[in-house]
Every structure is written in C-alpha cells, then in structure tokens.
Structure 1
Amino acid sequence: MDAEQVTRVVLVDDHRIFRVGVRAELADVAPDVEVVAEAADVDTAVARVREHRPDVVLLDVHLPGGAGHGGRDVIRGCAGLTTEVGQPVRFLALSVSDAAEDVIAVIRAGARGYVTKTIGGVDLAAAVHRVAEGDAVFSPRLAGFVLDAFGAAAGEVAEVDEELDRLSTREREVMRLIARGYQYKEVAKELFISVKTVETHVSSVLRKLQLSSRHELTAWAMDRRLL
C-alpha cells in the first residue's frame, strides 16, 4: 500500500494486553491504519509521539507519569507538533471511562474526539480516519457532554449565522438532539412527534446545512458552540 495512504498511529495505554488487542484488531480490519509505536505512560508517550509524529494518537485518559493528569499531560507535552506533511498531530481519546469530567477535560486539553473501549474494530478504524482528516468524533451520548460544556443552552441559541437562520425552531430542536447522539426513536419521544417526522426534519436539516451525515452535523454544531 502507498505510504501516503496509510494513517499512522501511536497507541498509548498502560495495559499491555489492551494495546496488543487494539493493534491486532486494527491490523485485521484496517490495513491502511499502521500502529507505528506504543507507550504505557505519559513521559514515554510524549517521547514516542515526538519521535514518530503520527497522524493520530490513540490515547487513554488515565495514565501514570507526567504531572498526574494522564492523557492531558501527553497532549500538552506535544502541543504544536505536526506530521511530516505539516498537518497537526491529532489526538483521539480511547478510554473505559464515560464520565463527563473525563470527556470534557481531555477535549479542553485539545483532543479531537473521545470514544469508549466498547467500540468495535471497524468503528475505531473509521474514527481514526475521521480524526486524521480533522473531524470531531464521539461515542453516542458523549457528544452531549461536550456540547453542554462548550455551548449555550438550547433556549439561548442565537441567530449567529446565515446557515443557522435557515432552520426552523423545530429543526433546531431536532438538530440539537441528533448532534448529541440521540437515536430517531429517542428524539421522537423527547419532542412528542413521530419517528417519520424526525426523519423528515433530519433530512431537511442536512439538506439546508449541506451536510451528509449526523457525524458532520455534530461537528458543525460543535464548531459553532450552538448547543
């Protein structure tokens, strides 16, 4: 495979058996993702990332070493680092924790996404690719923590740009819930409307915003700190 097509990854986790499993799974489902190095603590991780300058660092939140802040210390220790082609080295948190404080802390430190260790190999590979391309990626529900922490409350959404102005009040409500990881049935229950109506609103929102998926919608909402 052409080296330019390979997404290079440094894998950081303090459990060797987990690193072995992730490496094997990625090799099986995504030959275009290459784990170029591993680390089990903060200091080693910073050294490996600085040495290899990968596209993505798969990073556990809780790690020994550093200043005691785990994955955040790794991100801060690699601030401003770029790959050989000049793109920023990006960080994707991969943790057993789904606690709001962990999610928010690592995103504030500079991670582009956060997924839990329940994720499957195919989805993890897809998340790695998306983060490498600059997208924000979150496991379902975790996006809500970030939107709550960095955005305004739903009732405070302002008409901040022309794109937002295209949406009706109901479409904004649907957008908020979909961007936070709700399924269609959950949105319908929350807003007391039918699933068919939810599908219609989602299609309308994506069309008006010129987006192609709910993942792009989440990134769009986060970038504008709308929710």
Structure 2
Amino acid sequence: MSIRVLVVDDHRLVRTGVTAELAAAEDVEVVGEAADVESAVAAVARLSPDVVLLDVHLPLAEGDSPAAGAGSGGAEVLARCLGAGGEERPVRFLALSVSDAADDVIAVIRRGARGYVTKTISGPDLAAAVRRVAEGDAVFSPRLAGFVLDAFGAMSGEVAVADDELDRLSAREREVMRLIARGRSYKEVARELFISVKTVETHVSSVLRKLQLSSRHELTRWAAARRLL
C-alpha cells in the first residue's frame, strides 16, 4: 500500500513542488494539500493520512488564538491534531521548513512531530524521510538531531544515568542506540562511528536483546520515553 501524505504549506508553489517531487516515489501518494491551520486540521480528520508534511511557520488566521504553548501555526496544527487517526492508523507529522533554528526544531518536536527536515532536502531524500516516519522512526538531518539530543538531554539531567535498563548497555551500544533511535540507517551509523555495517548490526541486535525489544520502532519509543533522542 502507498504511504498517504498530506502536504501543509501556505505557499502554493511549495506545495506543488513537494507534490511533484514525491510523485516520483511509487510507494508515496499525496492525497491532499492544505494552506492554513483550519484547513490542515480539517484535512487530517477527513483524510487520515499516514504522514503530514507540515510547514513549521504556517501562519495563524487573523483572530485565532493558539492553544496553550503552541506558538506558531505549525505547532498549533500539532496541538489540535494530537492523537488524530486512532491507534490502528496513527497520523505522524514530519516538519518541513526553511528554518534550521534550534528553537523551531525543539518547539515542534515537543508538540509531537516525528521529525524535522529543511526545504533544501532533495526529492529522493524527502521520500525516504516520509517512509521512515511512516514506519515510526524519528528523522532529522545530523545538525538538527544534535539540537534535539542537547535539548532533551538537558531536560533529563542525570535521570538516564540511573536507569537500570540503560545501564545494561555498553558505551558503544548507547551510541549506536541513540543514532538508530533518531532514525539513522545502519550505513549512516557506521559512517559516523567509523565502524562496519556488520558491527552496527551486531550492536543493534545486542541492544534489542538486552532491552527486550523487538524492533527499531519499539527502540525509538523506548528512547523517547527516556528523553534520549
């Protein structure tokens, strides 16, 4: 089945361009577009897409007052759609923005976005990011992933150090676990840590076994619950 995508951006040319780029991916289908908060919320409820590509700086309509702590229009959509789609067909949000500012990244991740990529991303890479988010992975470019790790690591303080489950992992396994949980591929982890793909696979298997988890999706949820992403 195709991954059903809703494109939310207030610029028509951006929506058209994103739709055209994703059209090249046989397993991705753009099922709708929205240009503002109200139409985005309505489209999510009506279409129940698998992934929403969401402009972070979507403008609020005149007279609208954002939900508590929501801030920008993109965060407002997240605040109002949180939990949309139910358990069997969850709606996942991937932020797509011109901004790579840390404040923007952290704001939408706190509101529930599964990832954040900038509009400089290529069409094939965007399709790959959509696939990974649809599967439950967290997706960030390397620079943006650092913002998330720093922010949530600072919030968690020393709590993770005292986590009995985390203490089962070696230092290298923790490095691999964090990168995999952020949505990196085995090849990307191998390249970043200067180890072989086979070694990455071995570490991932060990991490899953020690934590009694069965998939990357479960690992991402485990790490997110401990604010390790």
TM-score bucket (shorter structure): 0.7 to 0.9
Code of the residue aligned with 1:48 in structure 2: it is: A
The equivalences for 1:29-48 within 5 A come to 30-48=25-43
Q: 1:176 to 1:62 in 2, by over 3 A?
A: same
Q: 1:150 to 1:117 in 2, by over 3 A?
A: same
The equivalences for 1:169-180 within 5 A come to 169=171, 171-172=173-174
Any stretches of 5+ residues in structure 2 without a counterpart? none
Any stretches of 5+ residues in structure 1 without a counterpart? 188-194
Residue in 2 that maps onto 1:97: 99
Give the alignment partner of residue 108 of structure 2, picking from 97, 106, 109: 106
Residue in 2 that maps onto 1:52: 47
Code of the residue aligned with 1:42 in structure 2: it is: V
The question of whether the paired residues in 2 share the 8 Å contact of 1:179 and 1:217 is answered with yes
The question of whether the paired residues in 1 share the 8 Å contact of 2:109 and 2:115 is answered with yes
The question of whether the paired residues in 2 share the 8 Å contact of 1:12 and 1:59 is answered with yes
What TM-score, normalized by structure 2, do the two folds share? 0.75
Report the alpha carbon displacement of residue 11 of structure 1 after superposing the two structures with TM. 0.2
Residue in 2 that maps onto 1:137: 139
Report the alpha carbon displacement of residue 71 of structure 1 after superposing the two structures with TM. 0.3
1:158 correspondence with 2:161: yes
Give the count of matched residue pairs: 212
1:71 correspondence with 2:74: yes
Distance 2:16 2:29 in 1: 13
The question of whether the paired residues in 1 share the 8 Å contact of 2:173 and 2:204 is answered with no
Residue in 1 that maps onto 2:83: 80
CA deviation vs aligned residue, 1:67-95 (integer Å, no higher than 9, x gap):
36210111122233116x83221111011
CA deviation vs aligned residue, 1:194-221 (integer Å, no higher than 9, x gap):
x45x879755532421499999977664
Residue in 2 that maps onto 1:13: 9
What TM-score, normalized by structure 1, do the two folds share? 0.76
**Cα root mean square deviation, aligned:** 3.4
Distance 1:169 1:154 in 2: 18
Distance 2:201 2:157 in 1: 23
Residue in 2 that maps onto 1:192: none
Distance 1:40 1:214 in 2: 33
Code of the residue aligned with 1:10 in structure 2: it is: L
Code of the residue aligned with 2:206 in structure 1: it is: K
Distance 1:117 1:105 in 2: 18
Distance 2:145 2:220 in 1: 8
The percent identity for this pair of structures is 67
Distance 2:215 2:90 in 1: 24
The question of whether the paired residues in 2 share the 8 Å contact of 1:174 and 1:201 is answered with no
Q: 1:207 to 1:79 in 2, by over 3 A?
A: closer
Distance 1:178 1:59 in 2: 23
The question of whether the paired residues in 1 share the 8 Å contact of 2:56 and 2:108 is answered with yes
Code of the residue aligned with 2:106 in structure 1: it is: I
Distance 1:95 1:213 in 2: 29
Residue in 1 that maps onto 2:124: 122
The question of whether the paired residues in 2 share the 8 Å contact of 1:13 and 1:39 is answered with yes
For residue 151 of structure 1, give the secondary structure of its aligned residue in structure 2. helix
CA deviation vs aligned residue, 1:26-46 (integer Å, no higher than 9, x gap):
111x12211111111112211
The question of whether the paired residues in 1 share the 8 Å contact of 2:161 and 2:167 is answered with no
Distance 1:33 1:94 in 2: 16
Report the alpha carbon displacement of residue 168 of structure 1 after superposing the two structures with TM. 2.7
CA deviation vs aligned residue, 1:1-53 (integer Å, no higher than 9, x gap):
xxxx021111011111111111111111x122111111111122112222211
